[in-house]
Amino acid sequence: MSEPLRSGPALAGGRSGKFGDLGPRLLSAAALIATAVLALYLGGDVFALFWLLAAFAVSWEWQGIVGGALGLARTALGGASLAAATAFAAHGAGPLALASLGAFAILFAVLAGPERRFWAPLGLVYAGSLVVSANVLRRSPDFGALSIAWLFAVVWGADVMAYFGGRLIGGPKLWPKVSPGKTWSGAIVGLVSGAFFGLALAVFGPWPQAASPELLGVGLVAAALAQLGDLFESWIKRRFGVKDSSRLIPGHGGVMDRVDGFIFASAFAALLGGLRGQESLAAGLFIW
């Protein structure tokens, strides 16, 4: 059963107007987008460090949400695990990155105690999937930058358009017990928009060979998973009675609140790219 929310304002009706929370969203989004794009442009160690910091913040927030024994030790252990996974993934050793996460997850289960034996290690896997998928995709010499830029276009496009679509169109709620503000209309607008934004990036960018009808279908799946990731994070917070994952982003929650959709979409992209059997995981998204 869900617990009462431990902190933060009321989930609905706390701000006036349909777009009462637009200001904080724009400010936090602009800062994060600028930093993420700069890290993508610079690549290399800067890119790996950016996503390591994001993953560490997610891991720290998750452990704070689920609670349990030895939280500080789990946070420190999570940092070590994510650093090792980043080092492996950034140098092309994806399987070793996943194996290291698995080994540390077992230690997490032991440290967290019986009541959190499932939830604590799940948070490490959740955060680790972000840093591993982003780094293994970025390594492709031909399509690495495109794969991350495409994910940005799909995930951010779906999020922005779902926000505006839901508030302008309204209608039935998507999952009111978990996320009272989300509507079916917003979800559909976000789904279609994210897929087309991703395709437009390939069509009008310097990668015309990557544009294909198949990419539109892949974008639809990625956009759907991004919205599912958002709902999953909302459900986790509801499950443990938390309003915001943290207060790391002033006025607008935590890092989990900003990258939840990207985690699901990037993990899907890396998995699909690996299954395609192309020269790299990123190439598997675009060469059909």
Q: What is the pLDDT of residue 155?
A: 97
Assess if residue 202 is contained within a domain. yes
In a domain, 78, yes or no: yes
Same domain, 66 and 180: no
What pLDDT score was predicted for residue 170? 87
- In sequence order, the β-bridge partners of residue 183 are 173
pLDDT on residue 115: 86
- Supply the pLDDT for residue 75: 92
Question: What confidence category does residue 76 fall into, taking pLDDT thresholds of 50, 70 and 90?
Answer: very high
Cα 219 from Cα 274, distance rounded (Å): 17
Tell me the pLDDT of the chain averaged across its residues: 89
Residue 276: inside a domain, yes or no? yes
Would 64 be classed as within a structural domain? Answer: yes
Write down the pLDDT at residue 185.
95
Is the confidence at residue 251, as pLDDT, over 80? no
Q: Angle at Cα 275 formed by Cα 267 and Cα 143, nearest 5°?
A: 70
Q: In terms of pLDDT, which residue wins out, 150 or 17?
A: 150
pLDDT average, residue stretch 229-244: 92
Provide long-range contacts, Cβ within 8 A and 24+ apart, for 42-47: 43/138, 43/144, 43/145, 45/90, 47/134, 47/135, 47/138
237 in the same domain as 182: yes
Decide if 232 contacts 264 (C-beta within 8 A): yes
Mean pLDDT, residues 154-178 = 92
Among residues 115, 139, 163, the one where a domain terminates is 139
For 205-220, what is each residue's pLDDT tens digit?
888 788 899 999 999 9
Rounded alpha-carbon distances, angstroms, from residue 45 to 4, 17, 49, 145:
42, 43, 6, 14
What is the SS3 assignment for the chain? CCCCCCCCCCCCCCCCCCCCCHHHHHHHHHHHHHHHHHHHHHCHHHHHHHHHHHHHHHHHHHHHHHCCCCHHHHHHHHHHHHHHHHHHHHCCCHHHHHHHHHHHHHHHHHHHCHHHCCHHHHHHHHHHHHHHHHHHHHCCCCCHHHHHHHHHHHHHHHHHHHHHHHHHHCCCEEECCCEEEEEHHHHHHHHHHHHHHHHHHHHHCCCHHHCCHHHHHHHHHHHHHHHHHHHHHHHHHHHCCCCCCCCCCCCCCCHHHHHHHHHHHHHHHHHHHHHHCCCCCCHHHHCC
Res. 114: pLDDT tops 90? no
Question: pLDDT: is 129 or 12 the higher one?
Answer: 129
Same domain, 225 and 254: yes
Residues 150 and 286 in one domain: yes
Please say which residue of 91, 107, 139 terminates a domain: 139
- The domain boundary residue, chosen from 111, 139, 167: 139
Residues 125 and 205 in one domain: no
| Confidence check: pLDDT of 66 > 70 | yes
* Mean pLDDT value of segment 121-147: 95
Q: Which pLDDT score is estimated for 25?
A: 66
How much is the pLDDT for 4?
43
Rounded Cα distance, 88 and 136, in Å: 9
Residues 82 and 111 in one domain: yes
The confidence score (pLDDT) of residue 7 equals 45
Tell me if 24 is assigned to some domain: no
- 270 and 162 in one domain? yes
Which among 131, 163, 3 has a CA at the least distance from the CA of 56?
131
Instruction: Report which of residues 238 and 251 the model is more confident about.
Output: 238
pLDDT the model gives residue 20: 58
Give me the domain span that covers residue 133: 44-139
Q: Are 129 and 262 in a shared domain?
A: no
Residue 21: its pLDDT value, please?
61
What's the whole-number mean pLDDT along residues 103-112? 91
- What's the structural domain count of the chain? 2
Q: Please determine, for residue 62, whether its predicted confidence score (pLDDT) is greater than 80.
A: yes
